[in-house]
Structures are given as structure tokens and as C-alpha cells.
Structure 1
């Protein structure tokens, strides 16, 4: 089953063997010009797809961040900092015209949903009737899954099935739980006259190392995690505050949805040793107090290929299957 995963800065193409729960052959990952023209972006995706040995007429699973009309294949990116040139473009039609061999179908789904489905098929959520899968990176992505099917509306899930629309302490959740928020919290906790902020080396690949205005040299989250492990109290406090806040925000929805597993993936999941405790503590507040005891807290088992496996599983379903899609995902 051929699949594409479109990220904010890259596109990945692969062939997936669903029966074996694995990718087959080379997984091709190429940079994508998120700020480029529509032609540059679409040509880049099609060129990456051509690098794998997909059969003619195959149904492709395509995992794409939102905002996106997944049923019609039309991009709705606008003022989200990526792919703005695709706004209103019929991506299904344009890719079908560009891809060789010509696909039989392009079945789109939200990238966070693809991750969640993948973890349900062969990962940390396997065997759980209801699971919530979270991705932590530049923001908070989420998938609420009932027997492997994404649930994106109704009274049991947050609006649009999207955790990033939740709030904490009267503010949007991502102002507390995100790469930018954690770095800003750490920067604010370290007095400038201690010299620690300026003395921390810039993170390779991060322009001016911060993304936190006016504070040069702020370490990235993985470096803050290392500082926390080394005994830096401010680093540990910044991480504990963020992940406990995530648990508090999710607690009522975990209870309402009846989840038995909470799976965390994304770039921050590598710091699971620092995430699990505060997350579990936060999820045990209020309405979630009793359920948190029975809830399984798990780091993603297929962090690198879960979205590819999920996209393949989605493409293999009957065309009449419900469309998996919700609002903007910035994780």
C-alpha cells in the first residue's frame, strides 16, 4: 500500500505491508518548501511519490496537517505559517495529474489521526477499544480513537476532536504546552544576570536558537530535558508545569471518552521519563481522579512510522468509510 506523509518541512513516501505492520523497501523523505508556490509544493510531493515502486492505479493514503477538507481533497491553509499558497487548491486533482504512475485514488486524512491509527494497529494503543493519542512538538496534535476509528465530533471529544483547542488557566493550551511555550518558560525562569541563558549554546538548525523573542541562546526542548536530568531545577520546573497542564486539560475528556490508553508521540516523546509523572498527575485531577488510576500511560511504540502505517490502514478501508479530518494541527 503506497502512502505519503506531508509535514511542515518535508514529505515522506513509502510502501507499507499492512499484514506485517511495517514499511517495505526504502522510505523516501525529502524537504518540502512550505513557503513556496503551489506548483513547487505539489511538484515536490509528486516527485517524492515517484521515488517508490507503487503500482499503477493504486489507492494511496495521504496524511496531511490541517486545515484541510479531507473529503474533497481541498487545502484550506490560511495564515498558519505553511502551505498558504495551496489555499483553495484541489490537491487531489493536482496530485493525480502530476503523479506517475497515475494513482487510482488519493485518500486523505489528518496527520495526527494517521499517527493514532498507526499506534492502534501495531503500536502502544493496540488492544485498547478507546485510546487517545497525542503528538507533542511545535504544538499539540491529537486523535481520539474508538476501535481504531477517529472520532472528531460529538459530546465525547473536544471541539473538532482537537486537543490544541483546549485551554489551561484561561489561555489556549498551546501557550503552556508547546515547544515555544516551554522554551519561553525556561527563559523566564533563569535570571539574565546569572548568565545561564546566554551561555547555553544555540541548537543546531534553529535560527538564532530561540524562536523566543528577545532571548538569544535559549536551548531547545531536548536540551532543556538534558538540563533537567542533570539537576537544573528551572528546567525541570518548566517541563513539569507544561506536562501537568496537559494532563489537567485532557482529564475531563479522557473520562468522558472512556479512554483506557493515553499514548504520547512527537518529538518531545523522547523525554518520556520527564513527561509521564507530571502528565499522570495532571490527568488525575478533578473528574479524572478515578480513571487515571486505570488509564495506561504509554510512549508511542512506532514513533517514526505510525503515520505511514495509519495512512495505509485508512487507504485500505472501503471508500464509504468516514473521513478522518479535523482542524489545524501544528504539532
Structure 2
């Protein structure tokens, strides 16, 4: 087994990556690279911006020592083949139908035999936390990311669970009905922005200013309590059904856990949920570590049949 892989976290407007030592199970110091991306740009501009960031991390080793590159990639994406399917979404439209894997190999001058492997970004986050993070000590975990979207994934023995009776369709919860819409409407940043305007008449761009106001403004504080209570009410059923030992919470909204956490935990307790709640240890490194793990041959054998179902 080649010792090093690059793990990559592709976001809607950024990309970050680092070299991961697969034997030691750790990021290689000094190899983190990141950059902003214009998701409305043409195909060549986007791929070049990704390749430039990847090349920076690759400088630390000889290309012959690279086991491959793993990507935590937002959907819709054909994860098995590495082809973009960004249709009817407000990002990366120019990559729809593009063989991202083959084109990046050419730009980076990689041998065609070097594997580029892709996984849903929320799943990559969950795999990273299950391997080296806050869920490393348990077999069954769920990870959620709270931010511009409501990311989620269930993991059993390191492998994402995307089908079966114990998880929702696709192995995630963002699309499930909740309130007057779907869960993503109620547990993403835009819910906070909408509720804050309804309660105060003020417009804000994100949750940070609402969190700052919560220490003096009871209405702002109540919004976080409502958020936590609603999310606990929503997640409790699935945490029990999956027999989840640990729930890992990550994403930007996690910084305000002291404001919504007590209500969240209380809502879970009222349903008899005894899942351990942990904040992400790896944070932005989780998806990098999780995606790099796909280049470990033994792990790849356990997960490769799941990839096409994401």
C-alpha cells in the first residue's frame, strides 16, 4: 500500500485538501491547501482552481508515492464514475456531464492508473469522524453538519449506511418532511434568518449576528431554543431506529451550541434517546480525512459497493 493520499473537501464556494498518512491515520503537517472557487465559472476555470489547490498539497511527496486522491463532493454527482450531475442546482452547472476524474488527472499530469475516488461530502465528514474523530470509539454513529444546508450521514463500522430499514432513503435526512416543508428548510442557516426577521423585523446574513444578539435579546435567544427543540424532536426517531451510539455535530452553527444544545438534548431525553452527543473534533478536517480513507485498499473493499448508491 502506498502510504499517502490526498483528501479533499469540495464546498459550494471553496476547496480544501491535505496529504493524509494512511498508515498513521493523520494529516501530514504543512500540507493543507485551500482556495475559493467561483461555482458559476466555466468548466476549465473551476477544474483549474481545484487542480491548483491539489497541486499545492501534492508538492510534499513524489507523485509515484501517491496512493490517489479522495473527494468529499456535494451532490448531485455520479460518485462511482467521477462525473458531475449538477443539473437544476445553483452551483457548478458547467460541470454537468463532465468526467471530473479524467480531466483532473490530465491537468495534474497524473498517471491514468492513479485512482480518484468520490464520496458524498456529508458521508465523507461522517467517515472521518468515525475513523479518527468524535465517533471513533463506537460502531454506530450519525454525523450532522449545520450550516447553509443540513448535512447528515449514518455510519456503521466505518461504512456509510445508505439503505435499509434503519435509515431514511439515501441514508440522510435533509429531504424528509418537516413542518411546512422539508428538514433542510428548518435546520439550515436560512431558517434562522427567516425567523429572526419574523420576530424582530431585522435582516441579517447569517447566524453569527443572531447568536451575538441572543445574550441581550430574549427573542433571539428563543429562536435558538426553538431550533434545538425542533431538531431534537425531528432526529430522535432516527437516532433510536439506527441504534445510534454517538451523534457528532459539526458545521458553522455548532459554535452556538450553548444556545441551542440544552433544548436539543432535552427534546431527545423526552423521547428516551440515550445517544451520546459530541461536537466535532476534526471540524473542517473531517471530510478531508474521510475522503482520503477511500485510498486505503482494505477500507475501499468495504465501502466501494456503497458509493454508487449515494
The reply to whether TM is greater than 0.5 is yes
Deviation for aligned residue 1:24: 2.6
1:200 aligned partner: none
1:112 aligned partner: 122
1:283 aligned partner: 268
- Give the aligned CA root-mean-square deviation in angstroms: 1.8
Alignment partners' CA distance in 2, 1:111 and 1:96: 20
Deviation for aligned residue 1:128: 1.1
2:18 aligned partner: 14
Q: SS at the partner of 1:163?
A: coil
The answer to whether the Cα contact below 8 Å between 1:17 and 1:24 also exists between their aligned partners in 2 is no
Q: 2:219 aligned with 1:234, yes or no? A: yes
2:211 aligned partner: 225
Relative to structure 2, which stretch is displaced further, 13-22 or 307-316? 13-22
Sort the Cα spacing of 1:27 and 1:269 in 2 relative to 1 into closer, same or farther, 3 A.
Answer: same
Q: SS at the partner of 2:238?
A: helix
Deviations 1:208-252 (A, max 9, x none): xxxxxxxxx425202211211x13111112122222222222111
Q: 2:170 aligned with 1:160, yes or no? A: yes
2:6 aligned partner: 2
Alignment partners' CA distance in 2, 1:134 and 1:256: 16
Q: 2:78 aligned with 1:92, yes or no? A: no
Deviation for aligned residue 1:42: 1.0
Alignment partners' CA distance in 2, 1:51 and 1:155: 43
Match runs of 1:309-324 below 5 Å: 309-318=289-298, 319-320=300-301, 321-322=303-304, 323-324=306-307
Deviation for aligned residue 1:79: 2.1
Deviation for aligned residue 1:100: 3.3
Alignment partners' CA distance in 2, 1:135 and 1:325: 22
The answer to whether the Cα contact below 8 Å between 2:7 and 2:287 also exists between their aligned partners in 1 is no
Q: 2:158 aligned with 1:178, yes or no? A: no
Deviations 1:153-201 (A, max 9, x none): 12111111121112222421122211111111011011x4xxxx2xxxx
Alignment partners' CA distance in 2, 1:135 and 1:55: 34
The answer to whether the Cα contact below 8 Å between 1:55 and 1:101 also exists between their aligned partners in 2 is no
Sort the Cα spacing of 1:298 and 1:160 in 2 relative to 1 into closer, same or farther, 3 A.
Answer: same
Sort the Cα spacing of 1:282 and 1:168 in 2 relative to 1 into closer, same or farther, 3 A.
Answer: farther
Deviation for aligned residue 1:101: 4.2
Deviation for aligned residue 1:326: 6.3
Q: 2:282 aligned with 1:302, yes or no? A: yes
The answer to whether the Cα contact below 8 Å between 2:69 and 2:116 also exists between their aligned partners in 1 is yes
2:52 aligned partner: 47
2:73 aligned partner: 64
Deviations 1:41-72 (A, max 9, x none): 11111121111224325311111111111111
- 5+ residue gaps, structure 1, are 198-216
Q: 2:139 aligned with 1:126, yes or no? A: no
Deviation for aligned residue 1:74: 1.1
Match of 1:251 among 233, 236, 256: 236
Alignment partners' CA distance in 1, 2:69 and 2:260: 35
Q: Normalising to structure 2: TM-score of the pair?
A: 0.90
Match of 1:76 among 77, 85, 89: 85
> Would you say how many aligned residue pairs link Structure 1 and Structure 2?
297
Deviation for aligned residue 1:277: 1.4
